């Protein structure tokens, strides 16, 4: 009640103030007799009634104008111009020879003055929000001469505010968020409204806020417009979004005030206030025993009403997996628990598993109370499957000696059917891994035997694949690798590491190392190689060379004297026996070729040519050139002779057109020149048929002695080749026999 009385008193005072503002300017413009006189008298003093004794008398300067500050209400309109106020000067004593002039902001357009009376009128409707005050200048001039009678005087006309603008929320509509389950009084957000009216005059811009929609969930402070939680236990899982309408009213919220509204969309953000919950308490899965490891065997799901990070959970196996057969992981997309195999299942050893699975929120410290976890039971039944045979080993390592006899048993592989039925297993070698068919296997017991001899020096390892197949189901196949190592035996004799060719200087010294010889052996004994070198028995007392063991499986060949000459013997052949340390030992004879060469004084080989010993002693280079020239000359003569005969078209050999018989006699024994003609019976050569009393020769085959007679007489030309000695060379010549 006191508040209501205070509001009524405030409204009364506002009404009186408006009446005073409107009426006082008009009253103040009317001349006061005492005032006019005192103004005209010049230096007279103004006496205030009721002054006590001893009070000081105040004096004032002369004023020519009399008016108060002028006001005009905004948005005021009517059929006639609005009287704003009246200007008056002391010079205006019913003197019709003066007039008032107005200048400044809005003069002549917004404001007009009556020249004789000084009344100022507003010609247009004014808006304080556009312009709050106008500064004008008034002056009194002579109406006839337009000469100023007083200096100009400046005054202000203020536009008085009225409540013509409602509050506005410039930044609306608003969006805000607050965590769910927040306490009552928790601040959500703050809104702000503005009013274009004058905030210092009256209550036109005094705003009061209220909530029109959104109760009882939220409240708003009437002065600060702060929105707060008004209801306890607001749960996002029940309702996530709210629409709140806020009103701002001016005039302090009283009747007649203007108002504006805005909307605030408030969202409740999630907190971890809900635990995960399995959709079922018991899950059952049937998993075949041949399911590969790492594959999914089933899914479980714990639902969480929260969202985002608050809804994420991890899964664990608490009980029932003592052997570590399973693992459970979280699908990040669906938040499901994926049950996978870590080890292969075996129906024959265990047919069922019962697991206890737990789902726990990732966030370890939820805002609300716990527990934030849940458990479920998972029952797994193992389904029997027809499994392939299982080898006792994934890889078998076997050994066999090289050159072992055929059908030697190298080793065996074993496989069994893991199923309860226990089917028989048959073994086969994959021939793609044994293209040369060097091995065989017994189909029933898996024994591997040798089919062909093996040579370690050719292949040291043989890798074959053996397949095991169930006899009652041929589709069930398994494979195993068998690595066979060929063991070495001493079946290769050592030999020289390379084909050595040594060079011996004619001027070499006795004991000089001619060549260092080493040997190699294709065998690979465990204890390593050790070679023994010796000369062949018939060369033990070799006068030219000897050998020395270097204690590193090599020897050095040494010269025994320094009388080696190329003219005497160019090359020497030294056979050496090399024996290994195998069981039994193997040996081979290798020949070292030693060439005698001419060397410099420093022992550098210079020439190993054969001319040094091919030519007889004492034959100089000039003699050799002469012999070659002689041979060339003879060849030129023969070529010229043949050319001349062809030029004359005379054949060198007369042949019958129908039958030609030719006897070619070849012999290799050295002859004495012309004396070689006596070694042949010319009559026999001319008559090979033995006619005219000549007997056939016994040293010629019968089929060559008697040839068929020609039908015509023929001439046989026989050429007897004779050797001549030209200097030291044997030259070949011929003569013609008819």
Please name the residues in contact with 690: beta carbons below 8 A apart, sequence gap of 6 or more.
684, 696, 705, 706
Pairing of strands 241-249, 259-269: antiparallel
Residue 352: what pLDDT? 92
Per-10-residue mean pLDDT for the chain, 738 residues long? 51 56 41 31 29 36 49 70 77 74 84 82 78 83 83 82 82 92 94 83 84 93 93 92 93 84 94 90 92 92 89 92 92 92 88 93 67 91 86 92 89 87 89 92 93 87 93 88 87 83 82 87 75 84 86 87 83 87 84 86 72 47 82 91 75 47 45 48 49 45 44 40 44 43
Domains (ranges, CATH) in the chain? 69-160 (2.60.40.60), 168-269 (2.60.40.60), 277-383 (2.60.40.60), 390-487 (2.60.40.60), 495-606 (2.60.40.60)
Please name the residues in contact with 206: beta carbons below 8 A apart, sequence gap of 6 or more.
199, 250, 251, 252
415, 387 in Cβ contact below 8 A? Answer: no
In the DSSP assignment, the letter for residue 560 is S
**Predicted model pTM:** 0.44
Q: Rg of the chain's alpha carbons, rounded to an integer?
A: 70
- β partners of residue 356: 319, 377
Spatial distance between the Cα atoms of 335 and 337, rounded to a whole number of angstroms: 7
In the DSSP assignment, the letter for residue 666 is -
Spatial distance between the Cα atoms of 126 and 74, rounded to a whole number of angstroms: 5
Residue 423: what pLDDT? 82
645, 638 in Cβ contact below 8 A? Answer: no
């Amino acid at each position: 009640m006191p508040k209501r009385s205070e509001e009524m008193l405030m409204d009364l005072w506002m009404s009186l103030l408006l009446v005073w503002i409107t009426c006082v300017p008009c009253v103040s413009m009317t001349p006061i007799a005492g005032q006019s006189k005192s103004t005209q008298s010049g230096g007279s003093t103004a006496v205030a009634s009721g002054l006590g004794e001893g009070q000081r008398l105040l004096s004032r300067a002369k004023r020519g104008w009399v008016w108060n500050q002028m006001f005009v209400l905004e948005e005021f309109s009517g059929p006639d111009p609005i009287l704003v106020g009246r200007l008056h000067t002391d010079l205006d004593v019913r003197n019709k020879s003066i007039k008032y002039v107005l200048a400044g902001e809005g003069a002549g357009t917004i404001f007009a003055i009556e020249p004789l009376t000084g009344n100022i009128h507003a010609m247009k409707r004014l808006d304080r929000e556009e312009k709050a005050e106008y500064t004008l200048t008034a002056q009194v001039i002579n109406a006839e001469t337009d000469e100023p009678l007083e200096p100009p005087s400046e005054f202000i006309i203020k536009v008085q505010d009225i409540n013509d603008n409602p509050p506005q929320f410039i930044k609306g509509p608003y969006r805000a968020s607050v965590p769910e389950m927040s306490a009552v009084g928790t601040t959500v957000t703050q809104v702000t409204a503005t009013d274009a009216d004058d905030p210092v005059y009256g209550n036109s811009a005094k705003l009061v806020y209220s909530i029109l929609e959104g109760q009882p969930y939220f409240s708003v402070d009437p002065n600060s417009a702060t929105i707060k939680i008004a209801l306890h236990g607001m749960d996002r899982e029940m309702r996530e979004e709210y629409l709140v309408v806020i009103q701002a009213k001016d005039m302090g919220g009283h009747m007649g005030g203007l108002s504006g509204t805005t909307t605030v969309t408030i969202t409740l953000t999630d907190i971890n206030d809900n635990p995960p919950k399995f959709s079922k308490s018991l899950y059952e899965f049937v998993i075949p025993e041949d399911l590969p490891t790492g594959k999914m065997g089933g899914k479980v799901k714990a639902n969480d009403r929260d969202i985002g990070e608050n809804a994420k959970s991890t899964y664990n196996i608490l009980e029932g997996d003592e052997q570590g057969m399973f693992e459970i992981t979280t699908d990040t997309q669906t938040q499901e628990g994926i049950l996978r195999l870590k080890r292969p299942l075996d129906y024959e050893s265990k047919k069922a598993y019962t697991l206890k699975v737990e789902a726990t929120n990732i966030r370890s410290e939820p805002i609300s109370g716990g527990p934030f976890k849940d458990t479920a039971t998972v029952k797994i039944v193992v389904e029997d499957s027809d499994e392939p045979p299982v080898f006792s080993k994934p890889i078998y390592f076997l050994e066999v000696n090289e050159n072992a006899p055929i059908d030697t048993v190298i080793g065996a592989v074993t496989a069994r059917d893991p199923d309860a039925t226990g089917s028989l297993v048959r073994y086969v070698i994959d021939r793609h891994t044994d293209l040369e068919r060097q091995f065989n296997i017994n189909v029933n017991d898996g024994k591997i035997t040798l089919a062909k001899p093996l040579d370690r020096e050719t292949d040291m390892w043989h890798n074959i694949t053996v397949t095991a197949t169930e006899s009652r189901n041929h589709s069930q196949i398994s494979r195993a690798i068998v690595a066979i190592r060929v063991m070495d035996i001493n079946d290769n004799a050592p030999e020289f590491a390379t084909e050595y060719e040594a060079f011996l200087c004619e001027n070499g010294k006795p004991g000089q190392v001619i060549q260092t010889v080493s040997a190699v052996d294709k065998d690979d004994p465990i204890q390593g190689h050790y070679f023994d070198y010796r000369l062949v028995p018939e060369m033990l007392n070799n006068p030219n060379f000897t050998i020395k063991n270097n204690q590193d499986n090599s020897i050095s060949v040494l010269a025994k004297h320094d009388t080696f000459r190329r003219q005497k013997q160019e090359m020497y052949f030294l056979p050496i026996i090399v024996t290994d340390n195998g069981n039994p030992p193997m040996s081979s004879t290798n020949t070292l070729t030693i060439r005698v060469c001419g060397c410099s004084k420093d022992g550098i080989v210079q020439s190993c040519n054969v001319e040094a010993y091919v030519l007889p002693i004492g034959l100089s280079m000039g003699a050799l050139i002469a012999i070659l020239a002689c041979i060339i000359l003879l060849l030129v003569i023969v070529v010229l002779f043949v050319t001349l005969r062809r030029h004359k078209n005379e054949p060198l050999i007369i042949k019958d057109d129908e039958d030609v018989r030719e006897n070619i006699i070849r012999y290799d024994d050295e002859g004495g020149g012309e004396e070689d003609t006596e070694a042949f019976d010319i009559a026999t050569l001319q008559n090979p048929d033995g006619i005219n009393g000549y007997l056939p020769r016994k040293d010629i085959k019968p089929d060559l002695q008697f040839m068929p007679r020609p039908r015509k007489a023929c001439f046989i030309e026989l050429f007897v080749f004779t050797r001549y000695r030209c200097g030291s060379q044997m030259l070949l010549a011929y003569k013609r026999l008819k």
